[in-house]
Amino acid sequence: DSPLKEVLGSLRQKNIEYYMGVADSRYDEIDGGESVRLFLEYLDTHSPALEQRILLHNHDDIIQLRRILPVLLNCDLHRAMFRTGFPAAGLILTEIRVTKDSLHASARTGRLGPLRDYIAFPTESLPVLVQASSVTSTCEFEFPARRIGRSALVLDASSLLGFPSDAAFTEQSDLASYPAFQSGYLVLKQGRAVNYLEINAFLIAFLKRIAPELAAE
């Protein structure tokens, strides 16, 4: 989820330190592989000198990690969340996919606790298929979407989030200020460009609405 790997060849911490211009802040002279080898040697010898070399390496790793955190500005964190999942409303999203005619999301229970067996089919007021299992503690969401023109794929965010009209969504929802929300609809993708930020934000809002219905009593 970052172009840095193509530039640096590897996302090893020391490579990123060179990229961020903080490599000369280190005092240790070994790398991670050598640290492991020295640790195995230390288990046999208990050498104070080896101990100090290993601890210095670990110390510098931690200090340098703080210094290189701004490298995250080179990453598409919303795309990373979309691809790897994230916690929301007591559930943990494990998979998100945009297909040719829907948005699909899978989740497992987290802080919400046990789930109950639940199924809801799409209706005009709530256009989504929801299935939850008490046995697997997982749930699936399938949001029907439709194409606008040749390249845009949209879903009805205002209905899914419980707003009485698109106008009410625009006036009352914080999501309305996001670029990919237009007149109560979420533009999932335009051509090949997927709107990861808005999809993630929508899923968080929807799960907050539906999670209480999925929790076992």
Q: Where are the domains of the chain?
A: 4-74, 77-214
What is the predicted pLDDT for the residue at 182?
92
What is the predicted pLDDT for the residue at 159?
93
Beta bridge partners of 146: 154
Residue ranges in the chain assigned as alpha helix (H): 4-8, 13-20, 32-45, 48-68, 77-84, 157-160, 166-172, 196-214
What is the predicted pLDDT for the residue at 7?
83
What is the predicted pLDDT for the residue at 152?
94
Half-sphere exposure for 156 (CA within 13 Å, toward CB): 16
What is the predicted pLDDT for the residue at 151?
87
Give the chain's residues under pLDDT 50.
none
Radius of gyration of the chain (CA): 24
What is the predicted pLDDT for the residue at 125?
82
Pairing of strands 118-120, 129-133: antiparallel
What is the predicted pLDDT for the residue at 6?
83
What is the predicted pLDDT for the residue at 56?
94
What's the whole-model pTM score? 0.75
- Rounded to whole angstroms, the Cα distance separating 54 from 39 reads 7
